[in-house]
Structure 1
Amino acid sequence: MPEPAISPANGQEPADYFNTVAYSGNNTQLSVTGVGFEPNWTWIKKRNGAASHALQDSVRGSFRYLVSNSTAAENTNSGNDWFRSFDSDGFTVSKTTTGGTATTEWNNSGDTYVSWNWLAGGTAVSNTDGSITSSVSANTKAGFSVVSYTGDGTASTIGHGLDSAPEMYIIKDRESTDNWVVYHKDLTSASYYLTLDTTNAQASNNVVFNGTDPTSSVFSVGTSRSTNGNDFIAYCFHSVPGYSLVSSYSGNSSSDGVFVHCGFKPAFVIIKVASVANRWVMFDNKRSDENPVEEAQELNPNDSTAESSSGTDCLDFLSNGFKLRRTGDVFNTSGYNYIFIAFAEQPFKYAQAR
């Protein structure tokens, strides 16, 4: 069995590049530690009540955030009262009220939160690989980059900073109200896209990604206002053996559902049915440490809803992948195409069963 580049044998753990940390709010300045690195992208969701998802990255700056369940433009909190900073072992959040406006997305006393954290490449650098210059923080070892660019309204290419073609990327207009658009290699073609903020099935429009698959140096955008003409942020991923997988599966409509081989024990997975309209789902290994993973641990990028109390079985995290335990359009209908991205707790070679 080949040794993964990110493995204990090489003095590294998958959690050195992606890690989930749960915490409780206190409505004062709070340093959330235990991430294990200074993240370049942190995605936070309140668990015990309805609140929007809050996405921050170091390329845009810690005081700017976007909301995955909304088409809204970037929010700027120049006073750093909510998400204050990215730190060496996590991040710092602060009070929940600024200028008389209450918010509970980061740090409300008595509320519980989960944060998903990724390590990119630190301080962003200029990238001139594309027809438009981009600002990129790229981690080539982990297959992840954060890309900022300003579209000129014409079909263009954007440098992503990775050494392989990204297999999935998520793009958001920072300046205007518009959908989050998602490219995934296992949609019908590069003319198709998903929207992270909706339940919509895949849709076709050549002007979103210019009908063009990415290369090892650039991704393409067309003339759509969803990907061009303003300031944009893009989160780019490609699979890394033993650490991450961008792929898909076909449902079988059985409660003894599809087994999806990943080559690692999952720490985190996002799934979306592409064939029909239904919700995105996301699960992690910190909010549920035993199988089966239940609906009570489900969160939805397209929705502000809290965790539920449902005990319905959804899936198992196994030493070499995950297995569906639920039927229906969201997870497992026969013949439907489901796209996903997953990150590892441990490569299969070192994984222990739950």
Structure 2
Amino acid sequence: MSEAKILIVEDEAVTGMDIRKSLVEMGYSVVAVATTGELAVRKAAELHPDLILMDIMLAGRMNGIEAADKIRRHCHIPVVYLTAYSDDSFLAKAKLTEPFGYILKPFRELELKTTIEMALYKYAMEHALRISEETTRVILDATDDFLFLIDPRGKFLAVNQALAKKAGRDVRDFIGTDIARLVTQGILSSRMAAWNLNTNQKEPVRFQEEFHNRWFDAAIYPVTSPEGDVVLFAISIRDITAQKTLEEQSRQNEEFFRSLIEDTSDVIAVLDRDGTLRHESPSITRYLGYDPECIVGKPFSVILTEESLPVFRQVLEEVLTTPGMVRAVNLPVKCEDGSPRILEGIISNLYGNPVIDGIVVNGWVKK
């Protein structure tokens, strides 16, 4: 990463200048040389370098390890230690600050450049991973569905806010706990908790289930390792109660509508917006000879004569513009045997009507 900005933290002026000269020759940009830990923390916050070369023993009250720890927690800038100290006690303390490298003085320029490049690359990869993880978290929390990961033993690896809110717990409190707790609390069914699955289950499982007077759509996705072993299950659970209620209401409405038109003497047809027949009353058989089951799904124009098509299309276009609009019609139609008839009645826009929700043609047939 040429042109990377580097902050040098070194209390020996001559050593600091030598390191600066080497870095510039390598193609890096040195933003500053700090001589104390306190100055290093301040310069890191002000200059936002890409990397910090940190000596451990510094002038002032704060050593390099303490400075690196503050920089890690507040600025998230990668630190490489550059020091003459190799004592185990220093190494143990330095590890706690999660450095991206540790170089002992005296060093070779090739060793310094290699360590810097590796540190910058590692930091870039970790930064990209953090962004990816944060993006995933935001996406997971953007839905009201329950989304979570469990291992094959039923231990939580991750959950989203929707499930945590339902359980009255913090997201972090779930990690490592058993999903059985949510089953005993009545938040999930045993099937939703994947109790009926094992590590041999490698195909996704999807099902709908009624649970505590609500309907849920659940999907369980096994995640396998490169060796082909199931290492975790990704589970998605959506509350579809409203959808189920609408489906049931629609079914009841359709049955109610069918009962209304079953015995009527008028010809009643329900059309979609494009003029396709959705329902047809049995009376069409008596007046025109068509079997309702044979013409449903076809254009209403199958019963119209050529001369009536433009009139029908114009009226249909007009009523579609306004819900509730009604237009009178007098349409030449043809019987199944081709003989002419006249359909006299009305066309109504009943979209939005909970029973019909379509275009209705209602009339009687004359010779």
Q: Fold conserved (TM > 0.5)?
A: no
TM-score by length of 1: 0.20
Higher helix share: 2
Report which structure shows greater RCO (CA 8 Å, sep ≥6).
1
Normalised TM-score (structure 2): 0.19
